[in-house]
Structure 1
């Protein structure tokens, strides 16, 4: 028989209050799902910078409703095609000068503009302030994107939850409807709407609303098929909860990450779609401005006045890149496993 091991007499003495009672305690602060997602999002510097860039553009675009440098639709042929001029800046490209016949001349002096007149981003071929028109066009593009996203949320989420929850023949039929809609190109839809309605925001929004919700519906439906088999959903059904209450209490909260992420990718797609339609002449019509119409007007004088195309192109590119980077950051924040899968 092995020898008995005797513990020292002081092994069972009580510890005092200050004897490091918590020295081996492992604990983390209690965080909700949203707080934990925000903590992960803040670690992604690119996503945070993109978020503040988008906030900046939203403030500028919608703030121009209250204050704008000039009337975006005011025509002033006397000041047509003036280059950018920043007060107190003597750098070429921002001092109101341009090259004509191999010589740099003061375009503002040639146009008879006083020293107090300046256009931060220059003017177009009709003398309209380019900065004011870019702000106006950005606001139009953002409004179309937000309204289109609203339809994407209301129709796509409702359709996807209903299809996934019902399953069976109902789900099969509803998915065949989506496949039929996806087989119709967006451009065909917008052309048909233009035959009925005049070109403008209404026709563009309806075209995006008609086809844009399908991706959201398919993603939500796939997640609903998975979530409805979870124990807490089956328990709610056993307790007699109605389908509507289960959808709002159990399905929607667990679908929030998918919905938010897809929304952040829907907005730039809608902005680009509107810009494309306006660029080819079947979107926003004159005298209203959008980023697409500004690109179309600027490319006509691109060889001699490239700034008229560069500035709206830069704004459109920054918005698209910022939305995509922010969407990637949200995806990683709401679904940490996506980083390891990627």
Structure 2
């Protein structure tokens, strides 16, 4: 059998345009943050939760504009009115109450002028419940944000210093954390009430007193890993100060941990404030928070359940939305988890 011979005609020149097209990278170059946002957008539950939170935040921020009534204005003649919208044609919002099996128009009994109504009813002092929920949501969100800021301002530097220095300094700082974490938050709140008057400041200090511990521990663990990386060793070799290394290298690489932990801290602070207000040592009257509204509503829950259901629903929506968004952020920033 004769061997095949290769000649110049056996080869065809490669098209230059086709060759260059094959060498191109089809996918665009993405930074870490852009890639995380792309993964977050693919998580439909997290995106919906984000939009729900934005709607709640905007409504709370615009409470002075949206609220139809002053949340602290009392009118005992309008006490415990049921929800009503417009002319009362919408089911569940007709302004009627069941008295001995008979539907009674409470607005007509209270002498409420025609055309005046309360979307979510009124409380035992005749205050508009919808307006109080808007202002209460704003106050609860404010407490959550302020407590989270305290968490960030203390937890991040503490964790970086502890992880960076190591040795005896790290041991001492961790023993201090263990001492602080052994003190129950409720005791701290009571002590704050003795030193400061009950209110926003005392609650934020009480929540922030131990709230930064989890952040500090997570940052410390990550700092232990990052300080041995090549880019950090190179920065130290070039004579960079620890402060510049922390600002340029550590904190950007810790951003995912910080964002994720922050999203879990906010609902914890809101729920703790609601708990304090529910047991009567939180926001003082006449200011409203979701906790005080729940506390007032549960007193008449058997006869007027709507006074508790509405603030409870808002609190549940906030807690669920923030936790689902936090799960989505964790999957986006740390896919390995």
Normalising by the residue count of structure 1, what TM-score does the alignment of the two structures yield? Answer: 0.95
Deviations 1:258-288 (A, max 9, x none): 0000000000000000000000000011111
Query: 2:110 — aligned with what?
Result: 111
**Matched residue of 1:193: which SS?**
helix
**Matched residue of 2:104: which SS?**
strand
Structure 1: gaps of 5 or more residues:
none
Correspondence 1:334 to 2:321: no
Counterpart Cα distance in 2 of 1:36 and 1:162: 30
Query: 1:91 — aligned with what?
Result: 90
Q: Is the 8 A contact 1:83 1:93 kept in 2?
A: no
Correspondence 1:13 to 2:13: yes
1:155-170 maps to which residues of 2 (within 5 A)? Answer: 155-170=154-169
1:319-330 maps to which residues of 2 (within 5 A)? Answer: 319-330=318-329
Counterpart Cα distance in 1 of 2:52 and 2:160: 33
What displacement does 1:184 show?
0.4
Deviations 1:79-132 (A, max 9, x none): 110011111552342111111111011111111112211101000000000000
1:1-342 maps to which residues of 2 (within 5 A)? Answer: 6=6, 9-15=9-15, 17=17, 19=18, 21-23=20-22, 25-88=24-87, 90-338=89-337
Pair 10,302 (structure 1): closer, same or farther in 2 beyond 3 Å: same
For these two proteins, the number of residue pairs brought into alignment is 336
Counterpart Cα distance in 1 of 2:182 and 2:114: 58
- Between 84-93 and 104-113, the greater mean CA deviation after superposition: 84-93
**Matched residue of 1:155: which SS?**
helix
**Matched residue of 1:52: which SS?**
helix
Q: Is the 8 A contact 2:88 2:94 kept in 1?
A: yes
Q: Is the 8 A contact 1:96 1:108 kept in 2?
A: yes
Pair 183,91 (structure 1): closer, same or farther in 2 beyond 3 Å: same
- Between 261-270 and 202-211, the greater mean CA deviation after superposition: 202-211
Normalising by the residue count of structure 2, what TM-score does the alignment of the two structures yield? Answer: 0.96
**Matched residue of 2:21: which SS?**
coil
Counterpart Cα distance in 1 of 2:67 and 2:229: 54
- Between 221-230 and 113-122, the greater mean CA deviation after superposition: 113-122
**Matched residue of 1:22: which SS?**
helix
Q: What RMSD over aligned residues (CA atoms) do the two structures have, in Å?
A: 1.7
Counterpart Cα distance in 2 of 1:10 and 1:120: 85
Counterpart Cα distance in 2 of 1:7 and 1:135: 85
**Matched residue of 1:212: which SS?**
helix
**Matched residue of 1:99: which SS?**
strand
Counterpart Cα distance in 2 of 1:201 and 1:5: 91
What displacement does 1:211 show?
0.8
**Matched residue of 1:288: which SS?**
coil
Pair 152,3 (structure 1): closer, same or farther in 2 beyond 3 Å: farther
Pair 104,236 (structure 1): closer, same or farther in 2 beyond 3 Å: same
Counterpart Cα distance in 2 of 1:140 and 1:188: 23
Counterpart Cα distance in 2 of 1:205 and 1:79: 35
Counterpart Cα distance in 1 of 2:266 and 2:5: 72
Pair 268,7 (structure 1): closer, same or farther in 2 beyond 3 Å: farther
Q: Is the 8 A contact 2:97 2:103 kept in 1?
A: yes
